[in-house]
Amino acid sequence: MGLAASAIPAIAAAQSGGHTLHGSASPLLFDVRNYGATGDGKTIDSPAINKAIDTAAAAGGGTVVFPAGNYVSFSIRLKSKVHLYLTQGATIIAAESPLPGQTTGYMGGTYDAAEPKTAWDKYQDYGHNHWHNSLIWGEDLNDVSITGPGLIWGKGLSFGSGPAKAPASAGGSGPDTEATTIRTLTPAEVAARNAARGRPRGSYPVYQAEQAGVGNKAIALKNCRNVILRDFSLLKGGHFGMLLTGVDNLTIDNLEIDTDRDGMDIDCCQNVRVSNCTVNSPWDDGICPKSSFALGYNRPTRNVTITNCFVSGCYQLGTVLDGSYKKFDGTTDHGKIGGTGRIKCGTESNGGFINITISNCVFEGCQGLALETVDGALLEDIAVTNITMRDVISCPIFLRLGARLRGPKGAGDQSTVVGTLRRVLLSNITSYNTAAKFGSNITGIPGFAVEDVKIADVYVQHVGGGTADQATIEVPEKERSYPEPGMLGTLPAHGFYFRHVNRLEMSHVEVQPAAADARPTIYLDDVHRADFYAITAPSTPAAFSINKSTDVRIRMSRAAEDFTTP
């Protein structure tokens, strides 16, 4: 926990703008006001803040304190052994970025330039490949922290909107060239798009992420170690509230994040603890471990615990932080009452995921749990337990092994082959009022099976209503598609759909549709060695549909009589 100035009564003198203890030659606290920051909500305070950080670093480290006030800033550059402490009432406000067609933003300022492009930029989107064009950033640091009960408000950040392609009639060169004339999205176009989705982002200006001088992340760290992020709140964090890439020994605790894209991306990080966080992210993922190729090599995300967190996608931007919890307008249409807002391992999956535990978390008005590996990496030794979900708009549980293989194809590179998804334990999960058309689905692809999955003590209540025609749907493979719960379309099962799975166990699982559903509860296709014990589900129509599967056993289930495949 950081220390406010009022918590240290022994402070007696100021040295170089900082406060020292009796008998100490080194400053203990560095008050940003002593370096020229005003906190008046009008003046650009980032030069003064950066001066305080530089002074603290030069002194061997220290705590840079933000007293109550509104600190309008462009890029703030972190340094090793420096702690930013946001007191109650302190807000760091991202200054307005340059608008489309402009070269400067608020009061002629700009955010730090994005890093030069690299050969591997094409394997991730723009946001994943750049850190410097952020409100607060650091690279190659150790022993840094941001704590305190204050607020970081990404008011002037881009949420990742990029240039759009205009048709040839709007500026192309004729029939012999592709329609690749580039123009920027107008604020009216973005507003119309978001209104059509039923979840407007508010009246914030629209900034283009790729445009020079624009900031598009609240906090970005690359190749750092021993990092603590604790107790502060984050409003409207831009494309990423926090983009943490190659950060080891990372603690994220007691944050409140209410944002317009991803809450936190934990990318290629190892030894990570996420706890006691609230993340509302209607337009993208809430808590998202990834393992991209953004560092220029494959690095797994390893040894991660996520516990005691609340994720949602159904609340209007800002209303979680102010405590009003206002939902977006909508009725029982699951496409309108919720957004993304989930916990997901993926979509970027070049390096893999090893030793991940997710426990004691609540999902509301969002998508469900997703574990994905589609870029040639392994995803293994995952334990998920004690999860409650309400108003999930897609799959409560989505596991996907695919072959998108977005990555370099050099000799020996892991991205040249399909990865693995194995040893996953899911237990003590309840999901209420879930959308029905996708069910939960766990799928590999031909020749590459998901392996060793155990599902126990699960209750799913969904809206039901599936038809007999839907029960006969032939599901496409889509081996190389982007992994999303709806990627395979409506499924011929309302509870669980398993395809290309080896060694599956389910016990004490109940699926209860609110309205009658004409599809089977559990559908197996190319599943080998599966045990079902104490399954409760409607028996009309038949609860199980077993196709091209071997060594399947059903025992002591209300859904079906005991059964063993030949």
Give per-residue pLDDT as tens, 81-126.
999 999 999 999 999 999 888 999 999 999 999 999 999 999 988 8
Name residue 353's beta-bridge partners.
301, 379
Q: Is the peptide bond before 347 cis (omega within 30 degrees of 0)?
A: yes
Show the CA angle centred on residue 100, arms to residues 94 and 106, nearest 5°: 35
pLDDT value, residue 106: 97
pLDDT of 259 higher than 70: yes
Q: Please compute the mean of the pLDDT values over residues 524-553 and round it to a whole number.
A: 97
Structure-block tokens of residue 37: 């920051």
Kindly tell me if the per-residue pLDDT of 199 is higher than 70. Answer: no
Q: How much is the pLDDT for 171?
A: 36
Decide if 133 contacts 214 (C-beta within 8 A): yes
> Would you place residue 411 in the very low, low, confident or very high pLDDT band (cuts 50, 70, 90)?
very low
> SS3 of 551, please?
strand
Q: Is the pLDDT of residue 10 over 70?
A: no
What is the identity of the amino acid at 291? S
- The kind and range of the H/E element at 509 are strand 496-515
The rounded mean pLDDT for the chain is 89
What span, in angstroms and rounded, lies between the C-alpha atoms of 531 and 554? 6
Average pLDDT of 501-528? 97
From the centroid of its chain, how far is CA 429? 20
Q: Which residues pair with 307 in a beta bridge?
A: 275, 359
**pLDDT over threshold 50, residue 177:** no
Q: What are residue 258's DSSP bridge partners?
A: 235, 280
Cβ contact 210:259 at 8 Å: no
Q: What percent of the chain has pLDDT over 90?
A: 78
Length, in residues, of the chain: 566
Percent of residues, the chain, with pLDDT higher than 70: 86
- DSSP 3-state assignment of 331? coil
Spatial CB neighbours of 257, under 8 Å, sequence gap ≥ 6 = 233, 234, 237, 241, 242, 263, 264, 277, 278, 279, 280, 281, 286
As a whole number, mean pLDDT of residues 5-16 equals: 36
CB-hemisphere CA count at 13 Å for 304? Answer: 32
* pLDDT-based confidence at residue 191 (cuts at 50, 70, 90): low
Query: What average pLDDT does this structure show over 352-361?
Result: 98
DSSP 8-state symbol, 296? S
CA neighbor of 66 nearest in space, from 85, 47, 94, 83: 85
**Mean pLDDT along residues 40-53:** 98
The reported pLDDT for the residue numbered 204 is 83
CB atoms within 10 A of CB 497: 24
Residue 101's pLDDT is 83
Q: How far is CA 237 from CA 131, 160, 262, 450, 487, in A?
A: 14, 11, 8, 35, 28
* 553 token code pair: 């056993």
- Between the CA of residue 516 and those of 183, 431, 470, 519, what are the distances in Å? 49, 18, 13, 9
HEC sequence for 450-487: EEEEEEEEEEEEEEECCCCCHHHCCCCCCCCCCCCCCC
- What's the pLDDT at 100? 84
Are 318 and 327 in contact by the 8 Å Cβ rule? The answer is: no
pLDDT number for residue 214: 96
Is 480 within 8 Å of 429 (Cβ atoms)?
no
Q: What is the pLDDT of residue 89?
A: 98
Q: Is the pTM of this model over 0.85?
A: yes
Amino acid at 185: L
Q: Which pair of tokens denotes residue 45?
A: 């305070």
Contact indicator for 158, 239 with CB cutoff of 8 Å:
yes
CA distance 310 to 139: 29
More confident residue, 191 or 208: 208
CA angle 167, 169, 172 (to 5 degrees): 70
Q: Provide the b/e sequence for 18-56 (b: ≥16 CB within 10 Å).
A: bbbeeeeeebbbbbbbbbebbbeeebbbbbbbbbbbbbb
> Is the pLDDT reported for residue 282 higher than 60?
yes
Tell me the C-alpha distance between 388 and 220, whole Å.
30
What's the pLDDT score for residue 192?
Answer: 67
Confidence of residue 226 (pLDDT cuts 50, 70, 90): very high
pLDDT of 329 reads 74
- CA distances for 224 relative to 99, 268, 294, 348, 375, angstroms: 32, 11, 14, 20, 25
